[in-house]
Amino acid sequence: MENELYFKRQIELLGKESQASLYSKRVLIVGCGGLGCSVAIAIGSSGIGHLDLIDFDEVSAHNLHRQIAFNIDNIGKNKSLVLKEFLLSRSPFTKVNNYPISLADFSYNDKKYDLIIDATDNLETRVFIDRLAKKHNTLWIYGTVEAFHGQVCFFENNSFEDIFQISEHKVKGIAAPMVMQIASLEANLAIRYLSGLPIKKDYLYYCCFDNYGEYSIQKFALPK
């Protein structure tokens, strides 16, 4: 299958020059669970040239309902490896590397990324991502989901640690469609940014269903 045919609808949206520019981009996705699966599928199918995946964890049955790249046969296998194989089978145009280790053990210094995307499930790792991104002058996208609500922010200047109270809060439950919705927002911001389209930076999106089933999106400019 020719590259131009595969990306036909996106080329109609972005134009050939912008689409071609995506092939030079390098993206790091930290976490290959619910958010990571959906984000990686969207990014990996958009024409990004190089995608690196980090996750030391294994596929488990109780997560399959929201980790859409995995199936029952993948249980016990490393998430980053299974996700890599899935992406390559779906789009051969993106180079994908997987790292079955923690972010702390990842050798970042010999690599350069155009964007980092957070798909983790704990605040401490996001603090680490923010510090790493600031150190290497790289922008990053934060995303989180719990129950029927979630948050996304494209960080440029603000400090994650200054905005959010860091605790050991554990998620009690997650609606799978909300995971895909938050991942979709992360991926849309990423593709717009990487293709040169304008986006709001240091701007928090809070998406939720209330107790009456009404959906809303609240938007907040982060304090400078």
DSSP 10: H
Note down the domain range covering 46.
Answer: 3-221
Q: What's the pLDDT score for residue 167? A: 58
Q: What's the pLDDT score for residue 2? A: 72
Cα–Cα distance measured from residue 77 to residue 88, given in angstroms and rounded to the nearest whole number: 17
Reduced to 3 states, what is the DSSP secondary structure of residue 204?
strand
Cα–Cα distance measured from residue 38 to residue 36, given in angstroms and rounded to the nearest whole number: 6
Q: What's the pLDDT score for residue 170? A: 66
Buried b (16+ CB within 10 A) or exposed e, 22-45: beebbbbbbbbbbbbbbbbbbbbb
Q: What is the pLDDT along the chain (224 residues), one digit of tens a residue?
A: 478 899 999 999 999 999 999 999 999 999 999 999 999 999 999 999 999 999 999 999 999 999 999 999 999 999 999 999 999 999 889 999 999 999 999 988 778 999 999 999 888 899 999 999 999 999 999 999 999 999 999 999 999 988 886 556 666 789 999 999 999 999 999 999 999 999 999 999 999 999 999 999 999 999 87
Contact 147, 157 (CB under 8 A): no
Helices 34-44 and 79-90 cross at an angle (nearest 10°) of: 30
Q: What's the pLDDT score for residue 29? A: 98
Q: What's the pLDDT score for residue 169? A: 60
**CATH number of the domain to which 190 belongs:** 3.40.50.720
The structural domain count of the chain equals 1
CA angle 18, 91, 122 (to 5 degrees): 85
Give the global pTM: 0.94
